[in-house]
A = this chain, B = another copy of it.
């Protein structure tokens, strides 16, 4: 196997752009961008030295791998739209944590290439550390592993069910963690302090986890069952942020286990 695979990408959003860039950086070339949004599609195609189309019937028939970098809900319909126009041997791949492999069923060769990361426009991802979760038959896995190992040091094979468990955990690790930062930020705003005061603390809370399991790393009033502090906090919240009382109570209970 070599870098001369004919790769196309469907999508022109965040993930399409970041994945296209890293594929190019690691020596692959992108034959074509399929994107309904003409401006974004053409811009991305230009950036990647590739062609652009917005018509499924004009997808390059000789595409060997087509990455679907689109919203989860669009995956099945797009798969159906491409099916008549691609060679039967084309490998179609989605990049979703929560979508099963079977959503690509019209294709015989199908796979999953799920990067466990949150992507932001204009912010270069640190791909080498991003876990890439792959799924497919043995031949597909051989192809996807070849690509994935050029991009990241952490490549894992998982089936759809395992991947959806990891995706569920990611809601806690990413979305709910961000919510915690947001609540801290709102609380600090009452004394005219912005959220950046918490960034060194947030960073260190995460950095510690390279050396200790989060269960072992737990500290704070709930962990040490410091009831006076917990009561004081609940009282402060009742006055200024009654909408946070329930979360403080529940999360403290989950930590203290009582």
Contact pick for A171, options B156, B206, B248, CB 8 Å? B248
**B200 close to A130 (CB less than 8 A):** yes
A185 closest partner in B (C-beta)? B214
Alpha-carbon gap, A165 to B45, bound state (A):
50
Q: Given the complex, which residues of B lie within 8 Å of A162, measured CB to CB?
A: 191, 193
Alpha-carbon gap, A98 to B228, bound state (A):
11
Contact pick for A213, options B172, B176, B195, B211, CB 8 Å? B195
Within 8 A of B (CB), among A143-183: 154, 156, 158, 162, 164-166, 168-183
Q: Given the complex, which residues of B lie within 8 Å of A130, measured CB to CB?
A: 200
Size class of the A contact interface (CB-based, 8 Å): 35 or more
Alpha-carbon gap, A177 to B177, bound state (A):
5
The answer, yes or no, to whether A55 is at the interface (CB within 8 Å) is no
Q: Given the complex, which residues of B lie within 8 Å of A177, measured CB to CB?
A: 177, 180-181, 202, 205-206
Alpha-carbon gap, A226 to B96, bound state (A):
14
The answer, yes or no, to whether A198 is at the interface (CB within 8 Å) is yes
Q: Given the complex, which residues of B lie within 8 Å of A176, measured CB to CB?
A: 180, 247, 251
Alpha-carbon gap, A204 to B237, bound state (A):
29
The answer, yes or no, to whether A2 is at the interface (CB within 8 Å) is no
The answer, yes or no, to whether A209 is at the interface (CB within 8 Å) is yes
26 CB contacts below 8 A, A to B, read: A116-B198, A116-B201, A118-B201, A118-B204, A120-B211, A123-B208, A162-B191, A164-B236, A165-B191, A168-B236, A169-B188, A169-B198, A172-B180, A172-B181, A173-B180, A173-B201, A175-B223, A176-B251, A177-B180, A177-B202, A177-B205, A178-B217, A179-B254, A195-B214, A203-B203, A243-B254
Contacts A169-B198, A173-B202 aside, 9 further interface pairs with beta carbons under 8 A come to A156-B193, A166-B187, A169-B187, A171-B221, A177-B206, A178-B214, A182-B213, A196-B209, A203-B207
